[in-house]
Amino acid sequence: MQALIGKKIGMTRVYDDDGVQVPVTVVQVGPCTVVQRKRAESDGYEAVQLGFIEQKEQRLTLPEKGHFKKAGVKPTKVLREVRLADGEEAEAGDVVTAKIFEGVKYVDVLGHSKGKGFQGVVRRFKFGGGRASHGGGWRRKPGSIGNREWPGRIFKNKKLPGQMGSKDVTTQNLRVVKVLADDNALLLEGAVPGPAGGLVLVRKAIKKA
């Protein structure tokens, strides 16, 4: 299994063997239940659908109830699909825990960042702004954005005020400081996108094995 659904618990600090303080994010990963198995013969690819956090049955629609009943598992709030590696096997009803990350040194975390509302270019893109001395008057404005008669338009991807945050973010190559298998938790060095309690997908690092 290459990834697990998790929940960001919060940040703390630990000390390594040399007594150096390491800031870490605590992430609960699993236990996740395999709800559906997808195969290359029928679906065109090898993957599993994982469920996370139990849900009350009365909160489900009839199609959702049938989906979980067919798998023979308890309903869950969150469903995510995870690709399987070549030769890897899993069946509906299997439970996957944090033990899959034992021996893994680096992971990628996919989350949804905090929304910060409508922001100007100084906050959003770290613009320096105009001068505060004589001849100023545009302290936090973006400055000129247009062109002459040709091309007579604003170029695409121009940095302007707008909605900041509240988007899908992937943080790559976070070092796994410790795997707490009994508690289904990981201690990851550094920050993880999203608020405390937010859902994340933790996968084995792609670029840094």
Q: What letter represents residue 197's amino acid?
A: G
Instruction: Say if residue 196's pLDDT is above 90.
Output: yes
Q: Each residue of 6-31: pLDDT tens digit?
A: 999 999 999 988 899 999 999 999 89
List helix spans (H) across 61-197: 62-71, 121-125
pLDDT tier, 198 (very low <50, low <70, confident <90, very high otherwise): very high
DSSP bridge pairs for 115: 165
CA gap 200, 69 in Å, rounded:
26
Q: Please state, as a whole number, how many other Cβ atoms lie within 10 Å of the Cβ of residue 41.
A: 7
| 64-82 average pLDDT score | 92
| 50-72 average pLDDT score | 92
Residue 190: its pLDDT value, please? 92
pLDDT tier, 191 (very low <50, low <70, confident <90, very high otherwise): very high
CA gap 18, 15 in Å, rounded:
8
Residue 93: its pLDDT value, please? 86
Instruction: Say if residue 50's pLDDT is above 80.
Output: yes
Residue 137: its pLDDT value, please? 80
Q: 147: which residues sit within 8 A by CB, 6+ positions away?
A: 153, 154, 155
Residue 91: its pLDDT value, please? 87
Instruction: Say if residue 175's pLDDT is above 80.
Output: yes
Q: 58: which residues sit within 8 A by CB, 6+ positions away?
A: none
| 66-80 average pLDDT score | 92
Q: What is the pTM of this model?
A: 0.84
List, in order of start, the domains of the chain with CATH numbers.
3-115+168-204 (2.40.30.10), 116-165 (no CATH)
Query: Is the four-CA dihedral 133, 139, 142, 143 of positive or negative sign?
Result: negative
Which range (18-22, 86-90, 105-109) has the least confidence? 86-90
SS3 100: helix
Q: 125: which residues sit within 8 A by CB, 6+ positions away?
A: 159
DSSP letter for 12, please.
E
Mean pLDDT of the chain, nearest integer: 92
CA gap 183, 28 in Å, rounded:
8
| Residues 171 and 179: beta-carbon distance below 8 Å | no
